[in-house]
Chain A
Amino acid sequence: MNASIRPAFAPPDLSQWSCPLPLRDYPTIVMGHGGGGKLSAELIEHIFVPAFRNPALEVMGDSTVLPRPAGRLAFSTDTYVVQPLFFPGGSIADLAVNGTVNDLAMSGATPLYLSAGFILEEGFPIAHLAAIANRMGEAARAAGVQIVTGDTKVVDKGHGDGCYINTAGIGIVPDGLQIDPTRAQPGDVVLLSGTIGDHGMAIMSVREGLEFETVLKSDTAPLNGMVASLLQFAPHIHVLRDPTRGGLASSLNEIAAQSKVGVLIEERCLPILPDVQSACDLLGMDPVYVPNEGKLIAIVDPSVAKDVLRVMQQNEHGPRSAIIGTVTAQHVGMLAARTAIGGTRIIPLQIGEQIPRIC
């Protein structure tokens, strides 16, 4: 890490943000913004609708009515409570959109629609909310999805952490496509779409009390584009998974358990940025447990592995994709690794969050 020569991360400066006229009476969130009255309506009209702009949202009914395309529905939800709200490489807004988009994409779905529920703490600056909403709109457009319904609630000062967001999403899975974590088979090849640990270490570098100086950035990105290219090329992908919380290790352990197989990875094949590796070494953490927000694991038949790798590497979010291991009939339910020096180790599920070691 090039500590001390680079400036620490600074959150965006929103002081020059110009508030739409009706909102100027209240530069911060007050209880009334969640009350369903005029203040709520003003937030919707001047912040959310312009940020998310799409015809379905603008009808403003109690629910949004959508056309149903052919195929089966995929449905997913996730809640975002990240701190700080703005971090190197992204913000809670990027996670709220990309996270749910990616969860849908991992079942082979084409993500179409999202909902957005906000829990705001009294006193939260409207400028920050506007920045988050605008960024969610941009992220949704980048991922090709629409935010078609939403909700806002306000909690008392001290009862929240500024802003929490829940998004739920609907996507369409073409008939005949079957991708799920029970389908890994002995002999399959395990691919990973790039470096691990970037998001978790970027967040850790700016967390209060734990700051360290680095150029690390979150890898938050929508992966539905990559999945679409993969499916065009190799519809018989067995498993797709985005290794978010708990990192690569948790996802592969879950796949091993659900598919009733063993997974063996080669540590020397894992793509890891030098800054992530040194931050992990410094803090006594293992990059295989550190969260990612823009990576996927693909488990495929060995006959298509090389071609799948090529497609992944050609995608804008996958230039460092690599083959990292294989699926085996041995050590069922467990993830094992061959270490760089030729030993072996089991990589278990962690009990809770990974915590920095003393020395």
Chain B
Amino acid sequence: MKYLDEFRDGPLARKIAREIRQIATRKWALMEVCGGQTHSIVRNGIDQLLEGSVEMIHGPGCPVCVTPLGLIDKALVIASQPGIIFCSFGDMLRVPGSKVDLFRVKAAGGDIRVVYSPLDALQLARQNPERQVVFFGIGFETTAPANAMAVYQAKLQGIKNFSMLVSHVLVPPAIEAILNSPACRVQAFLAAGHVCSVMGYWQYYPLVERYKVPIVITGFEPLDLLEGIRRTVHLLEAGTPQVENAYERAVCFEGNQPAQKLISEVFEVTDRAWRGIGIIPRSGWRLSETYSDFDAELRFSVSDITAEESPLCHSGEVLQGNLKPNECPSFGNACTPRRPLGATMVSSEGACAAYYNYGRFVALESIH
């Protein structure tokens, strides 16, 4: 298939992996920030091809995983109210709150709908003027343009029964928080291609300047990932930390400027709590003053809800790359996809779920 098969070519992938192994004079620790990349790496076995040369550390880039427990509890409270249509991306449904998840609220009669786009939720609001429609607006910079557009359109069209529970998070402050952590052993980052297709990559220059780590903008298909890793290893071996774009077919320096303009109109930067990590300053977006009428937290008075994480869950350390999922004492016993303690085990993009689902709890030698 055009634009897909070319990037899944087995012989070429093995050739690039060979080159990476040849140029690496030592084992480098790279972090892919994005959960979609974690998924692709583990699903395709890319880390296995690079064993001994590159260690992939899986970063905090799964929006489902970093959405704090308190916010999930807020969503559950809103979704349980009679008359509400609560719309969400599919993989938020199974994320456990303090007591239940959205699936259980649905089973108890809550009207919960999986949508692919916040604009579909807006359409539901138009079709059901007598009911309140709430969209669970989570995600990184990637999903922000569509979420911003939904709120912008709602205001423009005077759709009063639509609101959004917003928990947007941002990549560059997360990278900075990881680099500032004393336990940090990440030597370079793969930046997420889709985030950069929206935001460009100009934001990464100050980080490279300050922390002297290479950051390479990378796509999601096996060859995209291997090419991103190859360029990163070259930069590490040469000792020349730089920003490089290995995803030219989708990303340009400035990014998508109309999208950025819309985002800055609808959202404003705020401190944000990351599940398992804690508060990272200026690491998220909330609805700006102009659009606060559409803020579901205010509309349904759930701002006061807070929640405590399970002490058995080490997802924070996993998300910061200090612990491999299968090194967590709870992995595979107290915590499985069926009874997840933390969101990293729930979301298919979560590092723990990726390890569990793709069998990283058995000796892989046995299936070679």
Chain A residues packing against B (C-beta within 8 Å): 209-210, 262, 264, 268, 274, 277-278, 281, 283-284, 330-331, 334, 336, 339-346, 348, 351-352, 355-359
Task: Indicate whether B219 reaches chain A with its CB closer than 8 angstroms.
Answer: no
Binds A, one of B301-309, B323-331, B360-368: B360-368
The 9 tightest CB contacts between A and B, nearest first, are A343-B45, A346-B359, A355-B90, A341-B13, A356-B90, A358-B89, A336-B367, A345-B358, A274-B1
Residues of B within 8 A of A264 (CB): 367
In the complex, the answer to whether A209 meets B114 with C-beta atoms within 8 Å is yes
Task: Indicate whether B139 reaches chain A with its CB closer than 8 angstroms.
Answer: yes
In the complex, the answer to whether B92 meets A345 with C-beta atoms within 8 Å is no
Q: How far is the CB of A323 from chain B (nearest CB, A)?
A: 18
Task: Indicate whether B108 reaches chain A with its CB closer than 8 angstroms.
Answer: no
Residues of B within 8 A of A336 (CB): 359, 367
In the complex, the answer to whether B45 meets A345 with C-beta atoms within 8 Å is yes
Given A209-B120, A344-B368; A351-B10 close (CB under 8 Å): no
A339 and B222 alpha carbons, distance in the complex (Å): 11
Task: Indicate whether B241 reaches chain A with its CB closer than 8 angstroms.
Answer: no
Residue from the list A281, A343, A344, A359 in contact with B143, Cβ < 8 A = A359
A342 and B11 alpha carbons, distance in the complex (Å): 8
In the complex, the answer to whether A343 meets B48 with C-beta atoms within 8 Å is yes
In the complex, the answer to whether B13 meets A344 with C-beta atoms within 8 Å is no
Q: How far is the CB of A215 from chain B (nearest CB, A)?
A: 14
Task: Indicate whether B93 reaches chain A with its CB closer than 8 angstroms.
Answer: yes
Task: Indicate whether B4 reaches chain A with its CB closer than 8 angstroms.
Answer: yes
In the complex, the answer to whether A358 meets B64 with C-beta atoms within 8 Å is yes
User: Contact flags (1/0) for B22-39 with A, using CB distance below 8 Å?
Assistant: 000000000000001000
In the complex, the answer to whether B92 meets A358 with C-beta atoms within 8 Å is yes
User: Contact flags (1/0) for B316-354 with A, using CB distance below 8 Å?
Assistant: 000000000000000000000110000000011100000
In the complex, the answer to whether B91 meets A357 with C-beta atoms within 8 Å is yes
Closest to B2 in A: A274
Query: Interface residue count for B (Cβ, 8 Å)?
Result: 51
Residue from the list B45, B348, B359, B364 in contact with A342, Cβ < 8 A = B45
Residues of A within 8 A of B48 (CB): 343-344
In the complex, the answer to whether A355 meets B359 with C-beta atoms within 8 Å is no
What does DSSP make chain A's interface, helix, strand, loop or mixed? Answer: loop
Q: How far is the CB of A193 from chain B (nearest CB, A)?
A: 22
A262 and B362 alpha carbons, distance in the complex (Å): 13
Residue from the list A344, A356, A359 in contact with B63, Cβ < 8 A = A359
A-B contact pairs, 15 of them (CB 8 A): A210-B116, A268-B10, A284-B348, A331-B366, A336-B359, A336-B367, A339-B43, A340-B44, A343-B46, A343-B49, A344-B364, A346-B359, A352-B103, A356-B90, A356-B114
A43 and B347 alpha carbons, distance in the complex (Å): 48
In the complex, the answer to whether A358 meets B139 with C-beta atoms within 8 Å is yes
In the complex, the answer to whether B194 meets A359 with C-beta atoms within 8 Å is yes
Known: A344-B364, A346-B367, A358-B63. 9 other contacts (CB 8 A): A341-B14, A343-B48, A344-B48, A345-B43, A352-B94, A357-B349, A358-B91, A359-B63, A359-B142
Residues of B within 8 A of A340 (CB): 8, 10, 44, 222
